[in-house]
Amino acid sequence: MSTDKPTAARVYLSRVRTALADLPANEIEELLEDVRPQLAEMESEAGAAARVEDLVARLGTPESYAAELRASGGYPSAPAASEAATGVLPATAKPGRVGPRLALWGLVFCAVGTAMIAFYTAVRFNAEALAGMILLAPVFAVSVAFLLLRGLEAMRELPEVVRARAMVKSMREDRSADRALTYLNSLKPAWWVVCGFALLAFGLLLMIRDLHAVLLLPVLLVGAGLVMWAGPRIKADGRMLWIAVPVSAFVVGSAFGGLGAAVHLVRDRTYSSSSTPAYASSMYQDSHGNESLRYGQHELTNLYAFDANGKPLENVYLYDDRGRPLTITRYGCEKDTGTSQMTGQDNQFPRPKVVEGVQDDHGNVNGYNGYRGYCREDAGVPFAAVIPKAPATSGTPVPPSSPPKSAPPTR
């Protein structure tokens, strides 16, 4: 039998050897010494195109042939494990990594997005900025769906998770890093409580700016309760990360945003105490990022000026005490949509008053059947101003009265 290439005889003989693998090596060689000439003869009869199937057709499978050799030599039967090892395993579908990866990175994406939105909300001190959470909701829903379908085990097998766990393990081997991790773990119970109270404090602070933020309090209360319930259960159930991580990210983002707003406020007040008027505070901006004018708690979109006789002034340009123009956003009507939109920014006053509403097909404005956008610009002054009069003063000084003459003395 030639040994230069893996012929059919060599392949067949190899499988026979594998089936006899549990026997001593010298006894296997003794059994195969008698088999080799037989296989070589059969292969030569089949010619150059001999195949393993040709040998199987004449001798049976290598495993059955090995069983006959065992029986003829008085050897015990092959163990069951050996037969299973030589058998062909059924093909199993390898689970994909798309779902687990979407669940894992969806959680990371939502955590980062939540932190950024909370930071922006705290800096702007405006509850309306939380509307950005709507954009994260679909991603979070997909992440939770894959979590429930595939579970955590599939995520633990992801290469990035394996590397992260190996990194933590190597840190554990470092004594100083292990002490730091142990210390951080000891802070977890307190952290969940801090998260709960931080959410409530965040909602109350937003109410100072806008009373409508009271509508957020139920949501924040639920979030506070969930994080205090889910946080201590993470070790036993990793799915709790999908509650604790976004809430923690929200608290961290709002804390940094609140810190930035506080520093900004202190700096602005320090600056305004010297020369800057309150209405010039750059903390107040409109939706276009331009500074806004405020009178008390109300944002001003227009100003009207009158002379001493009560006559309205037109095309007035306003500046502050340092010569800076009081530039704010100018709005106008967009004809196609019937809504107001930004047309520019300047410090010219007064401006036409922009009136928005809806109208029906007959041109009735704000009626019951109105459905199309309506917008118009009203020029002029929408009210009459009463200018206080200065107290009347006389330009001619009153001479002092002369004392009465005394009567001449009498005798």
Those residues whose C-beta lies under 8 Å from the C-beta of residue 262, and which sit 6 or more positions away, are none
pLDDT per residue over 300-342, tens digit each? 888 999 988 888 899 999 998 888 889 899 999 987 778 888 8
407 vs 378 pLDDT, higher one: 378
Task: Look at residue 316 in the predicted model and tell me its pLDDT.
Answer: 92
**Model confidence at 109, in pLDDT bands (50, 70, 90)?**
very high
Identify the pLDDT of residue 350: 93
In DSSP notation, 339-402 reads: EEEEEEEE-EE--PEEEEEEE-TT--BT-TT--EEEEEEE-S-SS---PPPPPP--SSPPPPPP
Structure tokens at 254: 């709002």
Residues 6+ apart with CB under 8 A from 132: 113, 117, 120
Range 166-186 average pLDDT: 79
Pairwise CA distance, residues 352 & 333, whole Å: 10
The reported pLDDT for the residue numbered 402 is: 52
H/E element holding 372?
A: strand 372-378
pLDDT, tens only, 355-401 = 888 888 888 888 777 888 889 898 888 888 888 877 666 555 555 55
Alpha-carbon distance values, 127 to 4, 94, 119, 278, 310 (Å): 81, 47, 12, 22, 41
Q: Which two tokens stand for residue 334?
A: 């967009």
Mean per-residue pLDDT of the chain: 79
Q: How confident is the model at residue 83 (pLDDT cuts 50, 70, 90)?
A: very low
Side chain identity at residue 6, one-letter code: P
Assess whether pLDDT exceeds 70 at residue 65.
Answer: yes
Q: Which of 26-40, 65-79, 96-110, 271-285 has the highest mean pLDDT?
A: 96-110
Residue 238 in this model has a pLDDT that exceeds 60:
yes
User: Helices marked H in 76-97 — which ranges?
Assistant: 80-86
- Residue 291 has a CB neighbour count (10 Å cut-off) of 18
What whole-number distance in Å separates Cα of residue 346 and Cα of residue 329? Answer: 7
User: Which of the two residues, 316 and 280, has the higher pLDDT score?
Assistant: 316
Whole-number Å distance between alpha carbons of 256 and 260? 6
Which residue type does 374 have? Answer: Y
Please state, in angstroms and rounded to a whole number, the distance separating the CA atoms of residues 94 and 73. 43
